[in-house]
Amino acid sequence: MCIEAFLLVSNCSEGLYHCVLTTSLSCCISLCVCVCVCVCVTLSRGCDTNRTLHWDCDPSTLLLHSEPGRGPLKLAMAKVTHVDFPPKEVVSYTKETQTPTMTEQKEEEDEEEETAPLQPEVEAEKEKPAEKQDEEAPPHELTEEEKLQILHSEEFMEFFDHSTRFMERALSEHVDVFFDYSGRDMEEKEGEMQAGTKLSLNRKFVDDHWSKQRVVTCLDWSPQYPELLVASYNNNEEAPHEPDGVALVWNMKYKKTTPEYVFHCQSAVMSAVFAKFHPNLVVGGTYSGQIVLWDNRSNRRTPVQRTPLSAAAHTHPVYCVNVVGTQNAHNLISISTDGKMCSWSLDMLSQPQDSMELVFKQSKSVAVTSMSFPLGDVNNFVVGSEDGSVYTACRHGSRAGISEMFEGHHGPITGIHCHTAAGPVDFSHLFLTASFDWTVKLWSTKNNKPLYSFEDNSDYVYDVMWSPVHPALFACVDGLGRVDLWNLNNDTEYPWRTADISRGGFSDLGAPGKIQEWGPNFWIQLINFFIFLDDYIKF
Amino acid sequence: STLTPFAEVEDTLKRIQGINGVIGTIVVNAEGIPIKTTLDNSTTVQYAGLLHQLTMKARSTVRDIDPQNDLTFLRIRSKKHEIMVSTDKEYLLIVIQNPAE
């Protein structure tokens, strides 16, 4: 920007000096710098009148006035303000039409010519886009016939045969070597969201023939083959000619959608376990009170052994079965809802080895719905009952039977589980209970009141289980299809992770309820090993 | 014969496409022209062109190191996807999968 100052001095008859300072700007810019130049000049003319010349400070016109009647003009030093303006950028537009490829190439080449000292590599790169553009032209030339021709050719078949083999294997493998255990990469994605994002549905096991329309009553994992899972089902009301009780052994290792073994029996199966020291045997407790034994070595789907339906055994539904003991000394323990507890030898189910009535204070039979043995204990155990109370009991000794009653729940207890993680600290006195009263409670066998009550659920809680490896982690499921992972090291108010599996819309018969258990290899990469079974539970 | 009959090509491609997490499958010839695809045209052309170039570069890398060697499989893992390219002299089989599913 140039400031051109024009000094016009005009003489006028009255002796007034007019000085006009004009500034001209070559063009307008958004930034305006006000220039105020104040010069006070006092000029005196040698005449009888004293004149003072001074600038008018109005920037629009700077006039040098001279007042008559002043003495001789005196010049004095004045302060001048010096301002620098940077040269203005010239913005110019070139009106060129956008023409396709050929012209662009020409422009590129022009640029190359202009910037002479270019390395050959750069030139090569610029040639490649030209090539690429040539290559893209042919796709329009391949007709459907040509494509079919290629697809039928022998070389293609050979290629396809090999490639799809590798590809299918590669696609089916889900080994994620990039997983960051610190969760840093997940944090970027999640942002604020904490709950529910690391818990994901892994698989669903449904069999159209055997498990549809049936309720899942129990789950157990094979101690010998961690991928095998047995699920027991009750009757299918819409198929009265089918067997009432079904137990399916599912295989989690392979993607196949059919069960490994199908077992059934006459009465609805209410509980099922893998016999702990007999990997081939599956034990089921049924609605009729009968205990059945299936063997996967036999080719039969029906039980190889059954307990008698007599007063010596059970006459009420058996909700709890388990094999307790060591390799050399173990028993099958079963408890029915009338409070009868029997212990059996797996070799001979024709009569119980031992039986006991579980009564509290010699009068009240305990309607047992669930039982649990603490880690390493074969004598003492805890049971949950339909009236909402928890009882501790022991099998042998002078005070065999029910010892104490713990009250706390307001509804039938659906699940009870003693702490399982082995380690230097003994947590075996702790156990969890789940109930229809929407709560999960943490107890110690040393106190008859709950240590804590977890009240984040809004429906019947159907089951609760400790993690087999992490001492502070447990999970519960409720009737709304929600699975919660609680971490006692983190927070006792809210679950650490939660997942809603009802959104799959599986059951249109009502709110889905599931029993879930932890497998031995549960702790895998923060993504839960999760079994969801397509049915609802009835009580 | 151990070769796949033509009818099975369609089935195999459908099966691959049906594998959990697979977003798209493209078969490309030696010039980078897509022959079969499960994606839309513009995406197919883009993937085919780019991956063809990359495969050529990868192949030349392998062969520069050892002229007796050749590229068989290329696997590109990105934050969002995994792109798998199975290749021989003539063709490319490209599959894009979301490994998180």
- Based on the fold, state whether residues A288 and A389 are members of the same structural domain: no
- Rounded mean pLDDT, A500-504: 57
On the question of pLDDT at A40 being above 60, the answer is no
pLDDT at residue A509 is higher than 60:
no
Same structural domain, A467 and A373 = yes
Helix (H, G, I), strand (E, B) or coil at A503: helix
Instruction: Please state which of the ranges A82-96, B15-29, B77-91 shows the lowest mean pLDDT.
Output: A82-96
Q: Both ends of chain B: CA-CA distance in Å?
A: 36
Do A443 and A431 touch, CB atoms closer than 8 A?
Answer: yes
Q: Which of A136, A152, A159, A188 to mutate to test the interface with B (most CBs of B within 10 A)?
A: A159
Structural domain for A237, as ranges: 206-313
State the DSSP H helix or E strand holding residue B9, giving kind and residue range, or none if neither: helix B6-18
Q: Give the nearest chain B residue to A140 (CA atoms).
A: B33
Q: Do A386 and A529 have their domain in common?
A: yes
Domain ends where: A313, A348, A379?
Answer: A313
Find the mean pLDDT for residues B83-91.
89
Whether A195 contacts A482, CB under 8 Å: no
Q: What are the Cα distances from residue A426, in Å, to A286, A375, A417, A473?
A: 35, 9, 15, 15
Residue that terminates a domain, selected from A278, A313, A348:
A313
Q: How far B62 CA sits from the closest chain A CA (Å)? A: 19
Average pLDDT over residues A405-421: 89
Whether residue A117 lies within 8 A of chain B, CB to CB, comes out as: no
Residue A420 has pLDDT above 70, yes or no: yes
Q: A286 in a domain, yes or no?
A: yes
Q: Note whether A514 and A532 are within 8 A (CB).
A: yes
Strands A203-205 and A531-533: parallel
Q: Give the pLDDT confidence score for residue A253 in this predicted structure.
A: 79
Q: A298 and A365: one domain?
A: no
| Structural domain containing residue B43 | 5-97
The region of weakest confidence among A498-507, A528-537, B40-49 is A528-537
Place B19 in a pLDDT band, splitting at 50, 70 and 90. confident
How high is the pLDDT of residue A268?
92
pLDDT greater than 90 at residue A41: no
Strands (DSSP E) found in A373-490: 380-385, 390-394, 401-406, 413-418, 430-435, 440-444, 452-454, 461-466, 473-478, 482-487
DSSP string, A338-380: TSEEEEEBTTB-SS-SEEEE-EETTTEEP-EEEEEPPTT-SSE
Give residue A71's pLDDT band: very low, low, confident or very high (50, 70, 90): low
Chain A CB contacts of B2 under 8 Å are 161
A302 and A425 inside one domain? no
Which of A95-99, A117-121, A178-182, A284-288 comes out lowest in average pLDDT?
A117-121
Q: Can you tell me the distance from the alpha carbon of B63 to that of B65, in angstroms, rounded to the nearest whole number?
A: 5
**What length is written for chain A?**
539
Does A154 contact chain B (CB < 8 Å)? yes
CA–CA dist A380, B30 (Å, integer): 73
Residue that is last in its domain, among A254, A281, A313: A313
**Which pLDDT belongs to residue A65?**
52
Question: How confident is the model over A202-213, as a mean pLDDT?
Answer: 78
Does the pLDDT at position A251 exceed 90? no
Average pLDDT over residues A32-39: 39
Whether A538 contacts chain B with CB within 8 A: no
A363/A138: higher pLDDT: A363
Asked whether the predicted pLDDT for residue A44 surpasses 80, the reply is no
For the segment B24-51, what is each residue's pLDDT rounded down to a tens digit? 999 999 888 899 899 999 999 999 999 9
Q: Are residues A384 and A525 in the same domain?
A: yes
Q: Does a structural domain hold residue A258?
A: yes
Task: Clarify whether residues A371 and A278 are in a common domain.
Answer: no
Which of the residue ranges A1-15, A239-253, A342-356, B16-30 would you say has the lowest mean pLDDT? Answer: A1-15
> CB–CB of B35 and A161 under 8 A?
no
Asked if A138 and B31 come within 8 Å (Cβ–Cβ), the reply is yes
Q: Which residue has the higher pLDDT, A223 or A29?
A: A223
The pTM assigned to this predicted structure is 0.53
pLDDT computed for residue A185 by the predictor: 56
pLDDT-derived band at A85, boundaries 50, 70, 90: confident
Asked if residue A129 belongs to a domain, the reply is: no
Q: Tell me, yes or no, whether A370 and A456 share the same domain.
A: yes
pLDDT at position B7:
73
- Within this chain, do residues A381 and A528 fall inside the same structural domain, yes or no? yes
The answer to the question of residue A366 being in a domain is yes
Q: How confident is the model at residue A439 (pLDDT cuts 50, 70, 90)?
A: very high
A252 and A364 belong to one structural domain: no
Q: How far apart are CA B27 and CA B34, in angstroms?
A: 6
> What is the rounded distance in angstroms from the CA atom of residue A439 to the CA atom of residue A412?
11
Tell me what percent of the residues of chain A surpass a pLDDT of 70.
65
Averaged pLDDT, A450-466: 89
Residue B27 burial (CB count, 10 A): 23
> Is the same domain home to A375 and A473?
yes
Whole-number CA gyration radius for chain A? 45
Whether A160 and B88 lie within 8 Å, measured CB to CB = no
The residues in A 155-214 lying below 8 A from B, measured between CB atoms, are: 155-164, 166-168, 170-172, 174, 176, 178
Q: What is the pLDDT of residue B54?
A: 94
* Within a domain: A186: no
Q: How far is A152 from chain B (nearest CA, A)?
A: 6
Give the model's confidence band at A204: pLDDT under 50 very low, under 70 low, under 90 confident, else very high.
confident
Work out the average pLDDT over A270-287. 92
Residue A293 and residue A407 in one domain: no
Across the interface, of B4, B19, B53, the residue whose CB is closest to A161 is B4
- The predicted pLDDT at position A300 comes to 85
pLDDT exceeds cutoff 80 at A419: yes
With an 8 Å Cβ cutoff, are B4 and A157 in contact? yes
Residue A384 has a pLDDT of 93
Question: Is the residue at A372 inside a domain?
Answer: yes
Q: Does position A303 have pLDDT exceeding 90, yes or no?
A: yes
The pLDDT mean for chain A works out to 72
Number of domains within chain A: 2
| Complex-level ipTM | 0.72
Q: What CATH number does the domain containing B32 carry?
A: 3.30.450.30
Residue A87 lies in a domain: no
In a domain? residue A469: yes
Q: What CATH number corresponds to the domain at position A233?
A: 2.130.10.10
Total domains present in chain B: 1
| Contact between A306 and A293 (Cβ < 8 Å) | yes
Looking at beta carbons, which residues of chain B come within 8 Å of A164? 4, 12, 16, 86, 93
